[in-house]
């Protein structure tokens, strides 16, 4: 009877050695697919603009961006080995892939190997995780460090080996140096430690655990102090604590809130769209399926013994408390809610879902099969139950890969590289970091063109000007757009970004003749908007040519039909339309 368990354990080890590397390979494939295809977007460029500067200048710039330094320091070294969009996203990909074996390791120790496999599989294909493994931002690093911290914490109380506190401290330190919202993880971790201490007051080893947790908090305080954030944290925490005794401050008018905004809305639809959907999938049936499994897992944990009650405190605290605290904090501050803020709670949610799936499969299989075939049938049942989740995620991934990028700053840089002369000025309102990265000859500190005076000064020195305007500057540049409209050529890059070419002493018609020779971005919007400008300038032949190009580049049948209608509406070549 003794060899059988050893043989079984050996088989399980071989399965793990095969399955987890395959998941890592799949995770790598999903995350590297089209990694460099979309242009770097605004937030990525904000980070890279700081990382490409002097090392000593990184820290002083971060408070303005409410950022912590670890990812910036990593990127500082990384961009010196390459500047390609594909290359600068590799660190996020690495940390995103590393989260897969970490998810397995924690879920296996919380429950069993099967739940570990399922949780790792769900993490592998989760759009939420894939998306932020393809961005040059600290969120994949934060997710990875969070997993390390919680794995270490569970191992502390599972084995009572003090060396795991080093794992906790490494994970927490990495997370805290990645994002401020790591501090909200200290609440569930502190409750987990306090709960154990409360029920083991007479056992010295639990007091040692509590002391080590206090030491971890001291380490975090030192890290924040070394980065000059202690006073900021004190002021924010002191003011935020007033919410507890004055909850009416959450519903103050926007103008009375610290950041002058209303914050996230208080309604169930917001919760479904911005919390549940990112953690699960976009379809309503998928949302229902995931959350049904979550409830099965949660109720099963409640029903079972003491070990699983610890798992409830551990996972539900990790999942729910940070989300609630982040939401409340943003509501108090009057700041918008971004789904990326809750990415580090995803593993906790998926582990409960995985446990629910495992329990449901066990219940379905147990009465239907004999003991001899139960393991095989259980595996089949698990596969059948996990397939809908995989289909939902792959559908979301397919839509994600096919979606238009947020804004194409790379196309802006290529346009300027091809056609801006050395003596031209590039006035990028609130987009200086994008230009600094994609067109370094026009580098300017962030915020240079946020006021009228610097714009006028630049125009006075350079007769030929390129204005780069976007959705990030729209509230500030309305009058500038109005001034440019009659005398500049508008080169639309995408729905968010537009470049105006303006030259003192030249009319829009003169500039159109110049733009006609440009190597333009191969985008339907670019050609369609220029076709309209050529039409208004009376150059019907060029307008017709540009509409044909817009039709050829159209992204959808509807867009193609609109351009075909505009082309058909063009007047005869003998007609002349003069630009007023």
Q: What is the DSSP string of 391-460?
A: HHHHHHHHHHHHSPPS--HHHHHHHHHHH--TT-EEEETT-HHHHHHH-GGG---TTTTSSHHHHHHHHH
d(CA 527, CA 521): 9
Distances in Å between the Cα of 36 and the Cα atoms of 84, 136, 578 are 8, 11, 43
- How are strands ordered across the β-sheet holding 425-428? 425-428, 464-470, 497-503, 489-492
- Chain center to CA of 543: 40
| The two three-digit tokens of residue 50, written as one number | 């700081």
Sign of CA dihedral 277, 280, 282, 287: negative
Give me the pLDDT at residue 6, please: 56
Give me the pLDDT at residue 167, please: 98
Q: Domain extents for the chain?
A: 3-32+89-402, 409-568
Cα(first)–Cα(last) distance of the chain, in Å?
A: 96
H helical segments located in 52-112: 58-61, 70-79, 85-88, 90-110
| Segment (H or E) for 501 | strand 497-503
d(CA 345, CA 314): 12
CB atoms near residue 485 (< 10 Å): 11
pTM of the model: 0.93
| The two three-digit tokens of residue 227, written as one number | 């980065």
CB neighbour class for 36 (10 Å; exposed up to 12, middle 13-18, buried from 19): middle
d(CA 278, CA 287): 10
Q: CB–CB of 484/467 below 8 Å?
A: yes
d(CA 463, CA 483): 16
| The two three-digit tokens of residue 263, written as one number | 């914050």
In a structure prediction context, what are the per-residue pLDDT tens digits for the chain, which is 580 residues long?
Answer: 344 455 566 877 778 789 999 999 999 999 999 999 999 999 999 999 999 999 999 999 998 888 999 999 999 999 999 999 999 999 999 999 999 999 999 999 999 999 999 999 999 999 999 999 999 999 999 999 999 999 999 999 999 999 999 999 999 999 999 999 999 999 999 999 999 999 999 999 999 999 999 999 999 999 999 888 888 888 777 778 777 677 877 888 888 888 888 899 988 999 999 999 999 999 899 999 999 999 999 998 888 766 688 898 899 999 999 999 999 999 998 999 999 999 999 999 999 999 999 999 888 777 655 555 667 777 888 888 899 999 999 999 999 999 888 899 999 999 999 999 999 999 999 999 999 999 999 999 999 998 999 999 999 999 999 999 999 998 889 999 999 999 999 999 999 999 999 999 999 999 999 999 999 999 999 999 999 999 999 999 999 999 999 999 998 999 999 999 999 999 876 554 443 3
Q: CB–CB of 454/426 below 8 Å?
A: no
Nearest in space to 453 (alpha carbons), one of 435, 417, 475, 427: 427
Scan for tokens 């559908």, then name that residue.
395
d(CA 335, CA 327): 10
Q: What is the DSSP string of 456-473?
A: HHHHHH-SEEEEEEETTT
d(CA 313, CA 16): 28
Q: Tell me, letter by letter, the H, E, C secondary structure of 155-220.
A: HHHHHCCCCHHHHHHHHHHHHHCCCHHHHHHHHHHHHHHHHHHHHCCCCHHHHHHHHHHHHHHHHH
Q: For residue 90, how many C-alpha atoms fall within 13 Å in the half-sphere facing its CB?
A: 12
């Amino acid at each position: 009877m003794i060899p059988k368990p050893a043989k079984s354990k050996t088989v399980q080890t071989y399965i793990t050695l095969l399955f987890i590397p395959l998941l890592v390979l799949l995770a790598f494939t999903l995350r590297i697919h089209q990694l460099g295809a979309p242009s770097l977007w605004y937030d990525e460029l904000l980070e890279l603009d700081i990382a490409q500067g002097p090392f000593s200048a990184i820290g002083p710039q971060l408070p303005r961006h409410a950022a912590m330094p670890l990812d910036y320091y990593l990127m500082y070294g990384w961009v010196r080995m390459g500047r390609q969009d594909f290359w600068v996203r590799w660190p996020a990909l690495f940390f995103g892939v590393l989260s897969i074996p970490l998810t397995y390791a924690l879920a296996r120790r919380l429950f069993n190997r099967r739940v570990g496999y399922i949780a790792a599989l769900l993490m592998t294909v989760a759009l939420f995780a894939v998306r932020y493994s393809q961005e040059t931002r600290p969120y994949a690093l934060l997710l990875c460090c969070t997993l390390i911290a919680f794995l270490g914490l569970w191992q502390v109380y599972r084995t009572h080996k003090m060396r795991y506190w080093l794992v906790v401290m490494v994970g927490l330190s990495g997370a805290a140096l990645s994002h401020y919202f790591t501090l909200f993880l200290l609440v569930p971790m502190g409750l987990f430690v306090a709960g154990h201490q409360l029920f083991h007051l007479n056992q010295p080893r639990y007091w040692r655990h509590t002391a080590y947790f206090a030491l971890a908090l001291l380490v975090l305080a030192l890290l924040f102090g070394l980065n000059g954030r202690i006073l900021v944290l004190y002021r924010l925490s002191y003011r935020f604590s007033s919410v507890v005794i004055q909850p009416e401050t959450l519903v103050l008018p926007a103008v009375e809130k610290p950041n002058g905004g209303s914050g996230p809305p208080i309604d169930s639809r917001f919760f479904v769209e911005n919390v549940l959907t990112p953690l699960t999938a976009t379809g309503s049936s998928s949302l229902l399926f995931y959350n049904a499994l979550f409830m099965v897992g949660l109720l099963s944990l409640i029903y079972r013994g003491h070990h699983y009650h610890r798992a409830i405190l551990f996972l539900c605290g990790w999942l729910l408390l940070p989300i609630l605290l982040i939401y409340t904090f943003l509501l108090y501050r009057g700041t918008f809610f971004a789904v990326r803020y809750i990415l580090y709670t995803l593993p906790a949610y998926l582990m409960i879902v995985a446990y629910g799936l495992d329990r449901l499969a066990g219940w379905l299989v147990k009465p239907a099969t004999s003991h001899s075939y139960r393991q095989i049938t259980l595996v089949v049942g698990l596969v059948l139950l996990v397939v809908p989740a995989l289909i939902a995620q792959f559908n979301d991934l397919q839509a994600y890969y096919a979606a238009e990028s947020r804004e194409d700053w790379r196309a802006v840089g290529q346009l300027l590289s091809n056609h801006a002369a050395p003596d031209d000025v590039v006035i990028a309102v609130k987009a200086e970091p994008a230009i600094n990265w994609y067109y370094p000859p026009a580098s300017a500190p962030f915020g240079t063109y946020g006021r009228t005076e610097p714009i006028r000064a630049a125009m006075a020195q350079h007769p030929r000007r390129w204005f780069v305007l976007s959705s990030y500057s729209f509230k500030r540049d309305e009058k500038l757009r109005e001034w440019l409209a009659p005398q500049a050529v508008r080169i639309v890059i995408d729905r968010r970004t537009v470049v105006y070419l303006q030259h003192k002493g030249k009319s829009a018609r003169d500039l159109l003749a110049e733009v006609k020779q440009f190597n333009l971005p191969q985008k339907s919007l670019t050609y369609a908007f220029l076709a309209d400008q050529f039409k208004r300038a009376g150059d019907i032949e060029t307008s017709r040519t540009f509409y044909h190009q817009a039709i050829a580049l159209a992204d959808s049948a509807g867009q193609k039909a609109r351009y075909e209608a505009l082309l058909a509406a063009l007047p005869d070549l003998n007609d002349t339309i003069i630009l007023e």
